[in-house]
Structure 1
Amino acid sequence: MRVIERERADAQFLQDADLRFRIVMRSFHDSLEALRAVNLLFVASGDVTREEFDAFAGPLSQAHPETRAVIFHRLVVDADRDAFEAARRKIFPSYQITEQGPGGLVRAPRRPVYLVVDYLVPYKGNEIILGYNVFSYLPQRELFKRAIETGQAGASGVMPLMQIGGGPGLVIVMPVYRPGATLADPAARAAAVIGDTAVSLDLAGLLQRNLDQAGVLAQPGIALDVRGIDHLASHAYRFGAYAAPLPWWRQWFGAEPRTAQRTIEVAGSRWQLTVRSRKGALPGHVASNAILALSLLLTLVTASYIQARALRTRRIELLVRQRTRALKRAGDALRLYQRAVESSANGIILVDALSGDNRIAYVNPAYERLKGRTAAQLLALRVVDLADEGPDEPGMQEMLNAMRERRAGHAVVRQRGLNGRARYSEVYIAPVNRPDGVIDHFVLSVYDVTTAKRYEEELERRARYDSLTGLANRAQLKDRLEQAMSFAAADGAPLWTVALDLDQFRFVNDTLGHGMGDQLLRQAAPRIAQALPRTDTVARTGGDEFVLILTGCRDERSAATTVRRVLDALAEPLVLGGQTLVVTGSAGVAAFPGDGQDAETLIKHAEVAMYRAKEAGRNTVQFYRPAMTARALERLELEGALRHALAHGEFELHYQPQVDVASGQVVGMEALLRWRHPRLGLVQPERFIGLAEETGLIVPIGAWVLRTAALQNRAWQRAGYGPLRIAVNMSARQFAEPGLAREVAAVLAESGLAPDSLEVEVTESLVMTDAEAAIATMHELKAMGVAMSIDDFGTGYSSLSYLKRFPVDVLKIDRSFVHDLAGDSADAAMVDAIISLARGLRLRVIAEGVETCAQLDYLRDQGCDLVQGYLYSRALPVAEAEQLLRAGRRVEPNTAAA
């Protein structure tokens, strides 16, 4: 009977100790989960602002009152220290990077690198640590290095805390890396780290609260010791109390000390948990010893056999009653545990470890709800039947290994839920021992982590794919290109990298808005992808820029055919905002290994070839040639110089006379832009106008042209040269500016020029890109009295229905039709048609590029109103143009030029 009582007391003590162990482990686990949640904020958002950090970390801090502070430490190199401190002083005027000195915190001396407290919650009461360099404290520096080496969270030993309340505590950190960085090894992680997230814990308060909430601190005679192992500064905490060492006579009556220990690891930090008990003997134990002593005494005194039997009978009856009460208490406890298991919100499974195939012996209602099946249906299954892919699933393999090796385990398993959708469960496996030490069951605790898993998958998808088009992004492109290069190098097969850019995409954004531009990209992306084999890769690298990886093309001809197929698919008409648009693309191709042996070089050379394709007329394919690099560098140099040309006064206007065919009089001038570079000399317009349009510089340059031409015309009129109309070309970007009419009105007011002395020229293709918006702007200018003309007429695609709605005064015949007027019947027919059309619409006609007398005679015979070209005059500088006006404004054809 004494053995039975001792075994029961031992079992009760082990149960009490295990409960305390679980509370401690759950306390550490909750703190780690809070830290991981804050770290996920940086993984998801990249550059987290202070306001976002406060909004996210504030509720976590309030939910965990023993968390002294939630912190973001930022790595700052010494070269950036002054700028970093200056930026933070805009928010905190006294901000500086500090370290611990003899008398408290002092300004940190110069060091190569600092790990600085940048964000923290709560701020009140923790102000002292803002800006503190934790690298100045060796244990925290070593903790940060350990976290980088493992790529996981790291926990310190017990250390003094500087936050609210001070005293000893625990710090757990988790590295924060640059978005998109490769984290394959410690060196890569060290290069990508930008800081860490950390929580400072009042460990004693955390464990005290959780143990008290569980009601175990109220149990007398049991104490829990929590001690750090292998820490730089070991420290122990004690929860609960027990009596002083017991005298021998109490031990004889069964009051014996009991001890249980367990070692756990928390984020790389080891802790030893010890539970001790010095409770007195249970009543049955005391009674058994007392009766034994009395029996011996009575035997010695009376030696009465009958009385001994009576005493024995009474002792047995007493023990039976005590055993009955103990069994009742055990039954009550068992029912309590059963109700707790059945009421748990998490699934619990009991597995028969002796069945050989791990049959399910019990499931609680929470797991029935999770699976959408009854307990009767689940009890017929094996553990392996719970996973979607059976034993082949990695998580299930870990579970089976743990049960086969008779040990605790942890795994994430994918299962089908009630609605058939995949759900993810985090499963903890714990073996259950019989009194003889044999494991007869396993307890599986199942936590539904589907939401967190899907969140992680979404973060991974966003890190690898473009959110707008669903194509691979730059990070995914680099991985696939490096993999393709490895295969190509091994097989000796060619590999082609294509840089593809949409033509005039910036104009779509400027005229129709960025929303329409996004719609255009969503429609263009599947066209590009569907024109390629499934084995090839399409990535969007930014804006309207795409990169293609072609693996199945044997030579340049095959690659060119494939890219041409992509461009043809792209050029199919598409409907955008109720309008039908035709969008083309320009492509550049670089070959591996001839044009580059790494991903960055291949993409760069493909982009160089793509820019050459744009210069060659767009909607074309160009293969990279080494000479293109020099041209690209020249283009970059020219772009840089162009950005400074306006501020340095390097632009000037030349003026080409517009001559009345009937009288030979100069009735107008077209203002033509010239760039006189101090080193390059006179730069021709065809070299920089397109570049100015691509970079957006054409808008301020066009405004300068408009103002300068208006002021010059007004100056000529005041000099007495008579009425004269000045024609100014406007680019698509300038014409699409919302305040264009106000700008023109301001220029007229400043210069004093009459509106009818100004003529605005726009190209036919420009007005047809967004015809309704163009018509509205033209009406605004026309209402002011400004003349309108359509330049390069005949090269666009305007319809008669639109043309009659345009409030224009002049149609300008493109020089391409005038050049072969005498020898090409098609060009002559086009010129005749344009002149006849203008007559029907009561518009004047001007032909540009007139260089021969034959061209002039033909145009005169057909009734053309005005001409301009080298036959009369080239574009003249201001002084020469003024000399022509001073001479009477009548010019004769230059027959020598003809």
Structure 2
Amino acid sequence: MLAALVPPLTPLGDAVAALAGVATAAVLFATSRSGAAGDRPWRLLALAPLFPVLALAVGAVVQPETVLQQVVLRWLPTVPGYAVTVVALLHMAGRSGLRRTCSRTSLELALFGTAAVVVMQLLLVGPGNSWAGLTVGAQLVLGAAVAATGAVMAAALTVLGSVAAHRQGMAAVLLGGLVLLCLGRGTATSAALLGAPHLVAATRIAVVLGLALVVLARLRDAAASSSTGAASGRAVQLRSVLPQLALVAVVGVVVGPLAFGVRPTRVTLAGALLCVALSAAHRWVTAREDHQRGARLRSDEAYFRKLLQSTREAVLVLDRRLRVGWVSAALADLLGTTPAELAGRDLLTGGTARPGTVDPADAAALRRLLAGPAGAPGLLTLRVRTTDGGTRHLEASVADLRDEAAVGSVVLHCRDVTEREARERALAEVAYTDALTGLPNRAGWEAALAGTGAGHAVLLVDVRGLDDVREHAGRDTVTTVLVELGRRLRATTRGEEVVARTVGGTFGILAEGDADTAALLADRCLAVLEQPVTTPAGVFDLTADVGVVVAEDGLDVAGLTARAELAVAAARTSGRARATVWTPELGAAAARRDRLREDVAGAAARGELWLAFQPIVSMGEQRVTGVEALLRWRHPDLGEVPPREFVPVAERAGVIADLQRWALREATTTVAGLPAVDGVPLRLGVNISAAHVAARTLVDDVAGALRCSGLGPERLVLEITEATVRAAGTAVDGDIAALRLMGVHVALDDFGTGSSSLLHLTRLPIDVVKLDRAFVSRVDRDRDSRALCESMVTIGRALGLDVVAEGVETPAQLGVLRGLGVGFAQGFLLARPLPAADLAQVLRENAGALWPGLVGSSAGPAATLIAGETADSSVLREASGA
């Protein structure tokens, strides 16, 4: 197109036209280098402005003699430009769209082309019979110009009617630019041939403006390419209107001149009649295509409707007001109704008594889902009422398509999960129910505790005595007892309160109320549990310990459980059936135990452990003959930690054997360096736990300690309690025998507290018996205690065993024990546990003499300083025992 015929012009007009063409070509090519499919027509169109520039160059070189020769010389080089423009425009319209409606597109091209030829013929030649005054050559040139510009206009109109809606603005601007170019180029050619050269200069303005509009159209197309809008209904309507507009334009060209008394030419009349025929054919083809398209749509609609009606999928479609727009037969059958009965109903607010109504809670959940962000997961369970009064559980996948203009509905794909829900409820009952008592189990208990806040209390009931029931009557009787206890607790609490059996003989109660209400409930529970339980195997008396925790907001299940276990442990430690309420002090004590449990393992490596030595005094010689090594822990943050606190922690942590192994090495090394008393080396007593014996490393540990320290084995006394003997079983017998063969002595510590002490005296190869402080504490004022001590001394003397009295705290006790013939004593009255340096000083002064002055002593001042103080008996016991 952008090529045209140019008659003789002034050099300035030629230069302006040439520069505008080159600039247009450069801009079109520069903006179409991305390689996208939409850039190819523009790159092809960029070649068209160069052909008129070529024609100007040829005209400047060759000087024709006549106007016709000049016009022909300018015309021939521009012919390819028209062809390139038409091809580029048809490519821009889209080959796929042209192929789908080939017959309709052909008619449109023919109609647009004929209308353009008629209009351009009128504009270029005039309404009269101006052809008669032209030569044959001029007629051919002018006719070719009319045909070329008409073809370009037809292609431009095709582009406007076929491009997508978001590109129609570009197509309109492009059409305007092409109209100006066709008019400018064609009018210049016509003016030159018809003898009006004064009009040629004015046509160059139209050419430059047309080129500018082409550039603007390219820029708009580049901006519109970022959007992905497809051809909409607006584009379809425009394509339908354009043929009618072309026909109107042709009729106007024919009728308009008649108003001025000018008869149209035969060419104009023939073109008008052809346009009418083409318009009629186009209308017929369009109607046929619409009919075929409508038939296909009706067929597709019937196909999919039958397909949906025949499917067993339960589908529900709600309109924009969330009323039933369509429901599948499968869903209607599921609810016991028909699609016609459900159509148009509001299932979400239709009342709970009507069939097909959704449960209000589920309806609210559906509304919240639809009000949420687009694209949110749309899967929820709806409980829908059926015609028989039952309820169906439907798992619905929700697709909100209200924003889709073609749908405008909410589609729910439903699946009947009623049986699955029933199975899950049955499984939940099994998973959360104790099969023995019918109460909630631990899982059910934790589920009940979840979300518990202020205004509630948790009771943990730990039943005592079930082991005796199992031992005497068997497991079946224990089952009977647990069922009865669960029934009593359930009857004691209110209906809405939760009673669960968490594990074994432990029950949990979740009650409403404050601490006072919970304490009263705990007392009632203790009262009903302490009532005798009658079984076929007999009557059993049980007790219980109760831990009470008042719930707080923000306290999770683990926190509640931990507090309840601390409270019940505190109640159990008290030694009698009682209820204990959790307090912050219990929590602080638990935190302290946790800290000790974490730190005790590395205490020796960090240098926090040390040994205290308590002297053992000979009654006859009134001097120190041995010491007992006692383990001490000086924590860097908690200070001195008493043995009665950290030893049980170490046992539970599994490190007590390591601590005693360290104590054995340190004690043997220290005592090996202490001075002898009157030439007699001190004996060393070291406590051995059941864990150390169970580790089966005792013999090797003792041998290693003796070897490293150089202490004689005859100076070492390993103190083993009756509890250790019972816990270790027969394993302790072999270790004791091996130690005796090494020369190490063995003492039976805390003698008299167990149920089989005399048996141990005869079964085990021991050398020393240490009387427990339970006998010694009352020996001076209780005749029975004194008689028992005397008998034990007699037994020990008969078996050739040394007897040591532990925990001597008063002069009266010491005097009675001396009178009974006890050979050795230790306790706070004689000396507190001492560091190694202080013990060495005691041994150096007065040759180790150590005796209280109040009993009658030949000892010196040092002994009085060490043993002459008295204190409360509980303090004495704490200081003197490990």
Please, what TM-score do these two structures have when normalized by structure 2?
A: 0.42
Query: Taking CA–CA contacts closer than 8 Å with sequence separation of 6 or more, which of the two structures ends up with the larger relative contact order?
Result: 2
Whichever structure has more helix as a proportion of its residues is 2
The answer to which structure has the higher strand fraction is 1
- TM-score after normalising by structure 1: 0.41
Rg larger for: 2
